[in-house]
Amino acid sequence: MATKVMVNIPGENTYSVRIGAGLLAGLGAHVRDACGIQGVGRALVITDSNVAPLYRAAAKASLAEAGLRASDIVVPAGEESKSLEVLGEVWEAMAGLGLSRDCVVVALGGGVVGDLAGFAAAAYMRGVDVVQVPTTLLAMVDSSVGGKTAVNLEAGKNLVGAFKQPAHVCADTSTLDTLPEREWRCGFAEVVKSAAIDSDDFFFWMADHAEALAAHDADAVAEAIARCVVFKADVVAADKTESRGVRECLNYGHTLGHAIEKLAGYGTFTHGEAVAEGMRFAARLAQDAAGASAEFVQAQDELLDALGLPALDWTADPADLLDAMKRDKKARGGHVRFVLPRDVGDWQLAEVPDEGILAHLRAWAEAKQG
């Protein structure tokens, strides 16, 4: 049984996100339908070197069955593929394959492939359709929906990109069977983020289902994905280009999280592990700066613990962490901004003065050392 969520963003074509086990088999028919392809169409599957041996054949077979001529490009797995160099290679390969404006790009993989292929589609011949086929939990709950695409520069992550909404999203949850455990936890961090920002209903549903989720129970996982997609679709509908002070809520936990990733050295902690720590920190900061309760902080800690995201046994010099936060692209005019939860489902975007951040970072570091 598939769950279907419709994403209706003002000024964009409405698209469907289908969530369920075994959906890859029906991918071709949905691509044809979503992209309005008549006759023999051309599809390009962009995937990575880990995902290709697992799911490329099934994706291409389904596209072929629907009468689409499918080619593929495989990029090396990992964040390094979100580069101008790889993007240039993808565009050259697309031109070499003779793809024209009516082709459709199928992004088969995690957030790296989704962001890279989405940007490739956004600019190739000034824009061709993209269908997102997320194969990581993080990509299913977050990156495949909402249209942010980008590659990294030496100067920082995601510095060049475009908003490119997909024509369709196909989240085949059976692809998660091969996902490494650490990548599951990466996705869980974003699920907790969504639940804490969204509502009591989602947050307490998570608390009730944490054990089932940690055990990868198929029904619980599918429901968590659907809840995240509904939440994200609403946020993006309210603030498509992150210019209205709403979409920023999706950065909850990311202010300290990004600084941890950078100072610890990329790859030391996963993005999810760093974001989980960032949410623990932001919740404590919010106790002082936004009136969050001790009960909220504790409930979030317990949920993260239950999903295998314990507090990190790592610290750094508070001054270095503050400096890293100020250099982040989310900072404005040298001021660090935090998404602060006042309570479950209630948040504010706040510029916190340096002294307040430093005091909390010192307490955070001392608690770990003590």
Does 181 qualify as catalytic in the annotation? no
Q: Per the residue annotation, which of 271, 280, 284, 360 is the catalytic one?
A: 271
Told to judge if 190 belongs to the known catalytic residues of this protein, a careful annotator would answer: yes
Q: Is 158 left (phi over 0), alpha (psi -120 to 50) or beta?
A: left
DSSP state of 306: H
5 binds ligand GLY (CB under 6 A): no
**Residue 227 is a binding residue for ligand GLY (CB under 6 A):** no
Mapped onto helix, strand or coil, the DSSP state of residue 172 is strand
Tell the smallest beta-carbon distance from residue 241 to ligand NAD (Å).
12
247, interface contact from ligand GLY, ligand NAD, none, CB < 5-8 Å by kind: ligand GLY
CA 282 to chain centroid: 19
Regarding 247 and contact with ligand GLY (CB under 6 A), the answer is: yes
Distance CA 239, CA 247 (A): 6
- If one counts every other C-beta atom within 10 angstroms of the C-beta of residue 215, the result is 9
136 binds, among ligand NAD, ligand GLY, none (CB under 5 to 8 A by kind): ligand NAD
Span near ligand NAD by CB under 6 A; candidates 14-22, 27-35, 137-145, 215-223: 137-145
- Asked if 95 and 42 count as a contact pair (C-beta separation under 8 A), the reply is no
Pick from 56, 148, 157, 280 the residue near ligand GLY by CB under 6 A: 148
CB of 200 to ligand GLY, least distance (A): 22
Cβ-based neighbours of 105, under 8 Å, separated by 6 or more:
43, 44, 46, 117, 118, 120, 121, 124, 128, 129, 130, 131
**Binding residue (CB under 6 A) for ligand NAD from 72, 115, 172, 273:** 115
Is 261 a residue that touches ligand GLY (CB under 6 A)?
no
- Annotated catalytic residue 251: yes
Residue among 121, 107, 37 at smallest CA distance from 72: 107
Q: Which residues of 163-187 are buried (b: 16+ CB within 10 A; e: fewer)?
A: bbbbbbbbbbbbbbeebeeebbbbb
Nearer to ligand GLY, 107 or 250 (CB): 250
CA distance 27 to 161: 26
Which residues are known catalytic residues? 126, 148, 190, 232, 242, 247, 251, 254, 258, 271
Catalog residues that contact ligand NAD under the rule CB under 6 A. Answer: 48, 50-51, 54, 77-79, 82, 109-113, 115, 135-136, 138-139, 142-143, 146, 148, 157-158, 175, 178-179, 183, 186
Catalog residues that contact ligand GLY under the rule CB under 6 A. Answer: 142, 146, 148, 247, 250
